[in-house]
Chain A
Amino acid sequence: MPTTAFPYRESDPATCSLECAVTAYATSRFSLEDANALRKQSDTLPGNLGNSVLRHSDEQTLAALVAVRDAVNRLPTPPESFDKWGVVFSTRYLGRSAFAQALTKFAVDGPWNVSVQVVPNRSLHSPASMVGLALGCHGPCVGVGGGLDGETDAWITASSLLDQQKLPGMILVFSGWEPDNGIDVEGVPLAVTSCTALVLALQPISTPTSTARLRIVYDPHAPAALEIPAKNTAMSLFEQFVSSGTGGGSLTAMLGGGLCAKMDWSPAVISSFPLPLPTSAPQRKAA
Chain B
Amino acid sequence: MRILSERNFSMKQNSVSITGVGLTSSMGHSYDEFSSNLFSHVSGIERVAAFDVTDHPSQIASLIGEIPCPEGYDESEFRSRLRIEQCGIWCAESALRDAGWHDRPDGLRIGLVLGLGAEWMQSWEMDYRRGGRRAFDPTEEPAGMTTKVHRLLGLRGPQLTISAACASGNWALSQGRRWLELGWVDICLAGACDIGVTPLSLAGFGNLRALSRKNTTPHAALRPFDRERDGMVLGEGGAVFMLERTSEAINRGAHRYAEVAGFGATSDAHHMVIPCPEPQQGIAAMKQALQDAEVTPSEINYINAHATGTPVGDVCEAKILQSVLGDSAGRVPISSTKSLTGHLLSAAAAIEAVACLATIEKQLIPPTVNLEDLDPECAMLRHVRGESEAATIDITVSNSFGFGGNNTCLVLKKAA
Contact = CB atoms under 8 A, between A and B. Distances in A.
Nearest to B207: A116
Among B104, B159, B171, B185, max chain A CB count under 10 A is at: B159
A136 interface: yes
B406 A228 contact: no
Contacts of B165: 123, 125, 129
Given A16-B184, A256-B159, A138 B266 contact: yes
Nearest to B186: A8
A140 B117 contact: no
A115 interface: yes
Interface residues of A, number: 83
Interface in B108-140: 108-109, 111, 116-121, 124-125, 128, 135-139
A102 B143 CA distance: 23
A96 B120 contact: yes
A93 B403 CA distance: 19
A229 B139 CA distance: 9
A126 B162 contact: no
Contact of B120 (A5, A139, A147): A147
B290 to A, nearest CB: 15
A3 B103 CA distance: 10
B175 interface: yes
A11 B184 contact: yes
A235 interface: no
Contacts of B107: 8
A206 interface: no
A224 B104 contact: no
B68 interface: no
B183 A12 contact: yes
B158 A255 contact: yes
B160 A156 contact: yes
B157 interface: yes
Contacts of B163: 123-125, 142-144, 146
A116 B208 contact: yes
A284 B397 CA distance: 52
Interface in A64-108: 86-87, 93-96, 99-100, 102-103, 106
Interface residues of B, number: 87
B248 interface: yes
A124 B117 contact: yes
A259 B156 contact: no
Contact of B404 (A6, A129, A156, A184): A129
Interface in A140-174: 140-150, 152-153, 156-157, 160, 164-165
A276 interface: no
A228 B143 contact: yes
B268 interface: yes
A257 interface: yes
Nearest to A118: B204
Contacts of B120: 93-96, 99, 124, 146-147
Given A6-B248, A99-B135, A225-B151, 16 more contacts: A2-B253, A4-B105, A6-B187, A119-B118, A119-B403, A120-B272, A120-B273, A124-B161, A126-B272, A129-B403, A133-B270, A146-B144, A148-B142, A157-B160, A165-B265, A182-B138
The 7 closest A-B pairs by CB, nearest first: A129-B404, A257-B158, A111-B203, A147-B144, A124-B163, A11-B183, A16-B183
Interface of B: 19, 55-57, 99-101, 103-105, 107-109, 111, 116-121, 124-125, 128, 135-139, 142-144, 147, 150-151, 156-165, 168, 171, 175, 178-179, 182-187, 199-208, 248, 251-255, 265-273, 281, 284, 402-406
Interface of A: 1-8, 11-12, 15-16, 18, 53, 86-87, 93-96, 99-100, 102-103, 106, 110-112, 114-116, 118-126, 128-130, 132-133, 135-150, 152-153, 156-157, 160, 164-165, 180, 182-185, 218, 224-225, 228-229, 255-259
27 contacts: A1-B100, A2-B19, A3-B252, A4-B100, A6-B186, A106-B199, A110-B55, A111-B56, A112-B207, A115-B207, A116-B208, A119-B205, A122-B121, A135-B269, A138-B266, A143-B162, A145-B144, A146-B119, A146-B163, A150-B144, A180-B138, A182-B137, A183-B136, A218-B184, A224-B156, A257-B156, A258-B157
